[in-house]
Amino acid sequence: QDRFALHLYSVNGKHLSTVPLDEEVTAMCLTEEFVVLGTMQCGLEIRDLQSHILVGLEDGKLIVVGAGQPAEVS
């Protein structure tokens, strides 16, 4: 059972997707393309609302995780 999750809905209320989260979200900023999440454990995640996840690592690096097929991920 997931304790924390991020749900994406269309403007007319249709549920589009759910992503389980490992940590409690304490801050969120939403733009037209991205959502930036800050967590209780000082984590930072930047998620593309279409298909990519950008994750900030402890050493300051930013990695990109693609959720689509390799040809779709840039």
Tell me the per-residue pLDDT of 20-53, one tens digit each, with 9 for 90 and over: 888 899 998 888 788 889 999 988 888 877 767 6
Count other Cβ atoms within 10 Å, centred on residue 45.
19
Instruction: Give whole-number Cα distances, 8 to 18, 49, 60, 63, in Å.
Output: 6, 8, 28, 22
Bigger pLDDT: 8 vs 50? 8
Q: What is the pLDDT of residue 26?
A: 93
- In 1-74, DSSP assigns E strands to 4-9, 15-21, 25-30, 34-39, 44-48, 52-56, 62-66
Bigger pLDDT: 25 vs 2? 25
